[in-house]
Amino acid sequence: MAVTGFVLGLVGLLVMNLVLGPTAVVLGALALRRRTTRPGRARLGIALGLADLAVLGCLVTADGTWSWGLT
């Protein structure tokens, strides 16, 4: 769960941050609660999930969109 939360948080910075951000936070918290052998990855998953939500908040306030593109 810790590694999955980390990967989803990392991918969520680029795409689908509305879905992947909270999922990474939940998975990281569950991994810490179940005393994972990789607590660093679980904490990184939580941090990246929160960063996903911060990026989403910046996008929404900047131009009112819920997604971003390179166009």
- In percent, the amount of the chain with pLDDT more than 70 equals 90
Please count the other Cβ atoms lying within 10 Å of the Cβ belonging to residue 6. 25
40, 21 Cβ separation under 8 angstroms: no
Q: Rounded to an integer, what distance in angstroms lies between the CA atom of residue 39 and that of residue 58?
A: 29
Per-residue pLDDT at 60 exceeds 90: no
State pLDDT tens for residues 27-59: 999 999 999 999 999 999 999 999 999 988 888
Q: Which of 11-20, 43-52, 62-71 has the highest mean pLDDT?
A: 43-52
Report the predicted TM-score, pTM, of the whole model to 2 decimal places.
0.86
The DSSP result for 20-55, as a single string, is: HHHHHHHHHHHHHHTT-S-HHHHHHHHHHHHHHHHH
